[in-house]
Amino acid sequence: MYFNIFAKKIMASFDISNKTDFQKLDNGINVAKKELLSRYDLKGSDSLIELDKKSNSIKIISDTDMHVDAIVDILISRSIKQGVDAKSFDLTGKIEPSGKTVIKNIPIKEGIDKETSKKITKKIKESGLKVQASIMDDIIRVTAKKIDDLQDVISLCKNEDFGLPLQFGNMKS
């Protein structure tokens, strides 16, 4: 019998990432724009929602802070119905006055930042599963000998709230 002593056991792996589907987000914004025209509490207001794909942000312009808050609620609910996770929006920004109108800029979270990557890898290592997690730019690659261990990592990450919508892809066995 012939055995190759240099043959390596191929490890199973997958990637943890955070990517927003801009087509679904655009659909959610278009539905929200239609609702702006029909909402009674927003009739007569000069309200606008714009998606800037270059800067990964949404700009909301309206007459008052109250209108902006209502538009944000509409935007989030319509985007959720289109399949965009609410965690994709960074709602920490403040409403800024601009002449007779007010503006709120909502950045869209893309990728996994270093701080969150460290939290995720720490949680995976604390779980005691026989896996290795490594940070690669804005994704995390998880490798293991068994696919069952990888599935346990996926369920572990789904049960935790890291403040980002996580996607699990590029599964290789």
Residue whose pair of structure tokens reads 């965690």 in the numeric block: 87
Query: Can you give the pLDDT at residue 99?
Result: 85
Mean pLDDT over residues 18-37, rounded? 91
| Per-residue pLDDT reduced to its tens digit, 76-116 | 999 999 999 999 999 988 989 988 899 999 999 999 989 99
| Per-residue pLDDT reduced to its tens digit, 110-145 | 999 899 999 999 999 998 889 999 998 889 999 999
Handedness of CA 25, 116, 59, 74 (dihedral sign): positive
| Residues forming a β-bridge with 53 | none
Arithmetic mean of pLDDT over the chain: 88
Cβ within 8 Å of residue 115, ≥6 positions away? none
Packing angle, helices 65-82 and 22-38, rounded to 10: 130
Query: Can you give the pLDDT at residue 76?
Result: 95
Split at pLDDT 50, 70, 90, the class of 61 is very high
**Exposure string over 132-167, b if 16+ CB within 10 A, otherwise e:** ebeeeeebbebebeeeebbebbeebbeeeebebbbe
Question: Domains, the chain, ranges and CATH?
Answer: 12-18+111-172 (3.30.70.860), 22-107 (3.30.70.990)
- SS3 of residue 166 by DSSP: coil
Of the candidates 12, 8, 19, the residue with the CA atom closest to the CA atom of residue 141: 12
Query: Can you give the pLDDT at residue 6?
Result: 52
| Residues forming a β-bridge with 57 | 52, 107
